[in-house]
Amino acid sequence: MKIFKNILKGASFGITIGFLISLIVSSFYEGGIYYPSSPQFVSTFSREVDAIWYSIVIWTLIGLLFTWAGLIFTIEDWSLLKKTFIHFIVTLVIFSLIFKFTGWTDLSIKSYMICVSIFCLAYIIIWTLTYKTTDKELEMINNKLTSKKIDKDYTERLRKRRAHQKRYSIRFGQDINWDEFLNNDFVKTNIDFISLSKSKKSMQVWCSYTSVQICEELSKITFVPKDKITVTDLSVFDNLSFVRL
């Protein structure tokens, strides 16, 4: 499927570029008549439509060759300058042969230089657009990598933080205002939530404070009496080793 997409993409690209080049070249001929190739080449066909179809085949080959030549940019050991230079030379040679075989140019230096100039202009435009698109894609990938790096750094900081924390189960004997509780500075700074029960009266958290300190602080925050707040240290269960007899 991927090969078919690349072939279709290359063919579409070649036909588009071929048509544009033939249109530009035709503008240099007198009479304002469109030629899919040179007038001499078109005159070799009994019907003009045959010359157009033949040119479409050539344009398709141009697109495929240009697409395959793009594999040069996948060589990781080469610099961008080296890749661009070699890609330019390879495609210029390919186009020169096609220019010759399709009759777009003859052996005269003037005609050949006109075609090369058109090719260079098209190459610069296409390369610039491709570079801008690739640069944008790389920026998006780098942003994702940076985001992952931040997540990784946060995970590492969290792991170190856990080394100084304990896991607690906290139960309130009465209802509290959870919006105010969760937005409290002490809670946001010192408590990492693990889970909250459906009844919203008990939760599991990570905290570096002792159970007595947690009880005191939560009583101040929620206005719940300390005797109605139950704080259980669950970290002792984390350190137990169970042996099957």
pLDDT in tens, 195-226: 666 556 778 888 888 889 989 998 998 888 98
* 245 confidence band (pLDDT: 50, 70, 90): very low
As a 3-state breakdown, the chain gives helix, strand, coil percent values, each rounded to 5, of 65, 10, 25
Q: What's the confidence (pLDDT) of residue 124?
A: 87
Specify the higher pLDDT residue, 148 or 16: 16
Query: Who's near 127: CB < 8 A, 6+ residues apart?
Result: 84
Grade residue 194 by pLDDT with cuts at 50, 70 and 90. low
Q: How many CB atoms lie within 10 A of CB 86?
A: 15
What pLDDT was estimated at residue 139? Answer: 64
Domains and CATH numbers, the chain: 2-143 (no CATH), 164-238 (3.30.70)
pTM: 0.43
Q: Please, what is the angle between helix 80-101 and helix 109-162, to 10°?
A: 150
Measured on CA atoms in the order 28, 30, 44, 50, is the torsion positive or negative? positive
Residue 109 has pLDDT above 80, yes or no: no
pLDDT digits (tens, 9 = 90+) for 124-181: 887 887 777 766 755 664 565 455 455 555 566 667 777 778 888 888 888 788 778 8
List CB contacts of 197: < 8 A, sequence separation 6 or more.
Answer: 203
Mean per-residue pLDDT, 101-123: 74
Which of 15-19, 114-118, 130-134, 150-154 has the weakest average pLDDT?
150-154
Q: What DSSP character marks residue 234?
A: -
Give the per-residue pLDDT at 147.
Answer: 54
Task: Please tell me the predicted confidence (pLDDT) of residue 153.
Answer: 59
